[in-house]
Chain A
Amino acid sequence: MIRHIVRRMLQLIPMLLGITVMSFVIIQLSPGDFLAEIRLNPIVSQETVDRMRTNFGLDQPLHVQYLRWLTNIVRGDFGYSFAYQVPVLWLVRSRLFNTLLLNIIALIVAWAIGIPIGIHAATHQYSWSDNLLSLFSYVGISTPTFFSGLLLLFVAFKTGWLPIGGMTSLDYDLFPWYGKAFDVARHLVIPVMVLGVLAVAGLTRQMRANLLEVLRQDYVKTARAKGLAERVVVNKHAVRNAINPLITIFGFELGGLLSGSAILEVVIGWPGLGQLILDAVVRKDLYVVMGSLVIGGVTLVLGNLIADILLAYSDPRIRYD
């Protein structure tokens, strides 16, 4: 197992090199740079723009810029944001917690709801509740997050029950700790519902299909034949065996913890990484984009690795060495 983990970590290196080289080249070759907006400012002279270019190192050849960035990354220095003049890592850190909080809670909610519903749907195949849940799943899967986000914001606006976007209220700093927790919780309702519904819909379908597959297996018949209670048959034997593909999905979701909510964040004003990165891409704030790509790449690989480990743990038949 250790060898497998080490191998996977080593595989990460060429992969990250590939990702970063390609993104660096694509970003730099596409027309324009960070200074485009400043160039159109009537009071800024050409000389000032040229000086900025030099300061940012944008006047260097492409490979020099990349290698310089790469050597800094190895030392743990992700560089400075052009736009903010602060370290990229500071920018990421200032928003990382918010994105993680949202995604982890959405993940927990989705799994806590999705798995039982999936089991119910599979064990009650073609019943009215199964059909209703199927309908719900189809709608959930096919509604884009930006749309449901906007819709819920509008509901919040009309009813006044929930805050309209954001993460904390104006007087957050004045609240006691439980007030703060409650305040954030209120702000979490809409985004968690949006992300949760999407994930629940997917998980339900997946769980239902897997479980149905397993319930048709011979050993389930055997279990039933030897007189086990249906509850035990399903929960102890069938679900246990149907869970493998879900672990893989779980790994993917772990990988998406930082990026999965990007669009929604932008729509509802959740102060997470999504907004920061989108802005950086639009403005060509080079090192912010590169830094977030690296972080995103690493979490994706780590997520998959964790899934692999969990799989091996959950299913003794799986061996990596």
Chain B
Amino acid sequence: MRERIIMPLLVIVAATLAAAMAASQSAPPTLPDIPNPKVVVEAPEIGKFGGTYIVSSISDPRTFNPIVAQETSSTGVTGAIFEGLVEQNYLTGEIEPGLAESWTTSPDGRTWTFTLRQGVRWTDGTPLTMDDVLFSLEAVFTDGVQTSTVDLLTIEDKPIRWRKVDDRRIAFMTDKPVGTFLRLIGSLDIIPKHKLGDALAKGGAEFNKTYGIDTPPREIVGTGLFILQSYVPGQRVTLLRNPNYWKVDRQGNRLPYLTRYVILIVPNLEAARLKFLAKETDLYSARAREFAEFKQGEQAGNYTIHDGPETFSSEFLVFNQNPTGVAPPKLTWFQDVRFRRALNYAIDRKTIAEQVYAGRASPAWGPESTGNTLYYNPKLPQYPYDTGRAQQLLAEAGYQKGSEGLLRDAQGNIVEFIISTNAGNTDREAIGNIVRQDFTKLGIRVTFAPEAFNTLVGKLTGTFKWEAVIIGLTGGIEPVTGRNVWLSSGSLHMWWPKQEKPATEWEVEIDRLFERATAEINQNRRRQLYFQYQEVVATQVPMMFFTNPKTQPAVRNTLGNIKLGLQGVPGELETLYQKTTSRP
């Protein structure tokens, strides 16, 4: 009898427990106004609400218009206010839903259809609609609007096309399949039509000026994490939490946790460093040579300096192979792959890593950084420092060291050239001095002559009258976004820009690989194509990459949800929180 009573009771208890667990585990969280909020799962901890997060920037934002914004000083602010249809996971680099909650691809890979998330509102309360998306696209393609997004959304000289399917869906069409479409469309920030429509109607020039830094903050409405509260020129940008944001944490709490996000404007890196050490800011991207010193001060400063991954950028040496810029015999040397390979062996990357980056850099053999975990090819041909090997390769190519110790080519010309870089960039200047010494050991007469940045750019992109240059370029995750550099027709195809027909077989090969990679939708197959392109570059060495410098972010210990992502980003604004909210 007793058992009979207990049994049903147990069943009831078990059933209730199971139901409760199911509710807490599997039912997706919802918000009263947003049926399908995005759940941020990367964050290790459930945070506490409140608190201020303070960072520093060494320059003022130049605009609050996300379409026009170029420099990181501007995008650092607009990125917290505006968002795209999709967004990039900061840990993996993969594309995830953003303002669009889902998407589909047609089987031929030429049509992409996105579904807008329901219930999202601009911070002035107006609902986000498909018209805003259409308007943002229109803005990017309006004549006179200053934006680099237009280049990303123009595929092989043809702008992408789009069509509103219904109130929540939009379809994008391209002539050829575009594998990187998701990443490209992620570069488009969605802007409010009801605020900016009038300006765009007056033309591109007028649009460029709207949402400038002279705009009253309350006029600037986004869908993002924060709302602009104030901007004081030369001093700070203050942003406040968007109480109606569309992301939640694993427990369904509405993000972000932080109440206030402040960007202090400081005159230079030294000031940024002092402000961090004085505990006025929470984050400092330390320079490589500061790593050891910061490590020692961790306890006293109540911060942790992280051993971050490599950045995506890398300095490199490039020789001019453009006949309009240099004449034989120099042109002959620079176009000779045996010459380039030999010199690549003569570069002492270990010394560069140690002297320039205090040991915090890995040698680079190809164009993609070790830090680009998605697409870096780890099996590239390497050129470890070996002067003997370099000399041997030069001898095989007909270069001989004369009795006076100078290297001469087969025709007896003394091998000499000028390496340039932009003056004032201390890293590049230090690398240049090391490389000059390395090449001098081969008997080459090298002059190292840094010059003004503007002059250098003029030569690289205008007159082409230069011999060798040490410089760096910014890099993205997806190598095809660097088509200006790698396509033989590209205007930044450093060694010989804007070729009508590729000059060499391997440039034909790179052009072809880029074309295929652009169209390849399968990420694994695209990776294989990228691997091949890296191999061609590493074999033909049109550019000699030196090192991939590492990042070393120093983060105040009061901050929670710190988890280092690509390029050493310490965490996401969505989920960062202050453990002790002593600061309001």
Contact = CB atoms under 8 A, between A and B. Distances in A.
Do the two chains bind? yes
Interface of A: 30-33, 36-46, 48-49, 51-52, 55, 80, 83-87, 90-91, 94-95, 98, 153, 157, 160, 164-168, 170-171, 173, 265-272, 275-276, 279, 284
Nearest to A35: B457
8 contacts: A32-B452, A32-B458, A39-B491, A42-B482, A84-B212, A90-B214, A271-B232, A284-B454
Contact of A55 (B54, B65, B144): B144
A84 B230 contact: no
Interface stretch (B95-103, B125-133, B287-295, B469-477): B469-477
Interface residues of B, number: 64
Nearest to A51: B144
Interface stretch (B6-14, B272-280, B378-386, B545-553): B272-280
Given A32-B458, A44-B151, A275 B271 contact: no
Contacts of B230: 173
Contact of A95 (B62, B233, B275, B452): B233
A267 B270 CA distance: 10
A203 B20 CA distance: 81
A168 B235 contact: yes
B455 interface: yes
A42 to B, nearest CB: 4
Given A32-B458, A36-B453, A165-B266, A48 B148 contact: yes
A31 B455 contact: yes
Interface in B197-255: 204-205, 208-209, 212-214, 230, 232-236, 238
Given A48-B148, A95-B234, A168-B232, 18 more contacts: A30-B454, A32-B454, A33-B454, A40-B473, A84-B213, A85-B68, A85-B146, A85-B208, A165-B275, A167-B235, A170-B54, A170-B236, A173-B230, A268-B267, A269-B271, A270-B234, A271-B265, A279-B59
Interface of B: 52, 54, 59, 62-63, 65, 68, 70, 144, 146-148, 150-152, 154, 204-205, 208-209, 212-214, 230, 232-236, 238, 262, 264-268, 271, 274-275, 277-278, 280, 452-455, 457-458, 460-461, 471, 473-476, 481-485, 491-492, 498, 584
Contacts of B262: 170
Contacts of A85: 62-63, 65, 68, 146, 208-209, 212
A68 B267 CA distance: 34
B278 A166 contact: no
Given A51-B144, A268-B267, A84 B63 contact: yes
A89 B264 CA distance: 24
A47 to B, nearest CB: 8
A52 B213 CA distance: 20
Contacts of A160: 278
Nearest to B272: A269
Nearest to B215: A86
Given A32-B455, A165-B267, A267-B267, A86 B233 contact: no
Contact of A164 (B63, B274, B458, B475): B274
Contacts of A45: 151, 154, 484, 491
A279 B71 CA distance: 14
Best-surrounded residue of A42, A49, A52, A55 (most CB of chain B within 10 A): A42
Contacts of B492: 39-40, 42
Given A32-B455, A33-B454, A275 B491 contact: no
Nearest to A31: B455
Query: Which 6 A-B pairs have CB atoms at the shortest separation, nearest pair first?
Result: A32-B454, A271-B234, A46-B491, A269-B267, A36-B457, A31-B455
Given A32-B453, A43-B482, A45-B484, A98 B474 contact: no
B274 A157 contact: yes
Nearest to A36: B457
Best-surrounded residue of A43, A168, A266 (most CB of chain B within 10 A): A43
Contact of A86 (B213, B234, B453, B498): B213
B77 to A, nearest CB: 13
Contacts of B267: 165, 265-269, 275
A147 to B, nearest CB: 13
Best-surrounded residue of B68, B264, B271 (most CB of chain A within 10 A): B271
A231 B236 CA distance: 52
Contacts of B212: 84-86
Contact of B278 (A46, A83, A164, A171): A164
Best-surrounded residue of A55, A87, A91 (most CB of chain B within 10 A): A55
Contact of A94 (B233, B454, B474): B233
B233 A36 contact: no
Given A39-B461, A269-B266, A271-B235, A164 B275 contact: yes
B39 to A, nearest CB: 31
Contacts of A98: 234
A37 B280 CA distance: 32
Given A51-B144, A95-B234, A164 B271 contact: yes
Given A36-B453, A86-B212, A98-B234, A43 B271 contact: no
A50 B452 CA distance: 22
Contacts of A170: 52, 54, 236, 262, 264, 280
Contact of B473 (A42, A153, A167): A42
Contacts of A31: 452, 454-455, 458
Nearest to B152: A43
Contacts of B471: 40
Contacts of A42: 473-476, 481-485, 492
Contacts of B52: 170
Best-surrounded residue of A30, A84, A266 (most CB of chain B within 10 A): A84
Contacts of B476: 42-43
Contacts of B485: 42
Nearest to A265: B267
Nearest to A285: B62
A196 B68 CA distance: 42
A268 B265 CA distance: 11
Contacts of A30: 454
A166 B454 contact: no
B503 to A, nearest CB: 19
Contact of A43 (B144, B148, B208): B148
Given A32-B458, A85-B212, A269-B267, A52 B146 contact: yes
A247 B238 CA distance: 44
Contact of B457 (A40, A43, A265): A40
A41 B313 CA distance: 12
A272 B62 CA distance: 16
A84 B215 CA distance: 12
Nearest to B63: A85
Best-surrounded residue of B280, B471, B481, B498 (most CB of chain A within 10 A): B280
Contacts of A167: 234-235
Contacts of A267: 267
A302 to B, nearest CB: 25
A164 B151 contact: no
B400 to A, nearest CB: 38
A33 B457 CA distance: 10
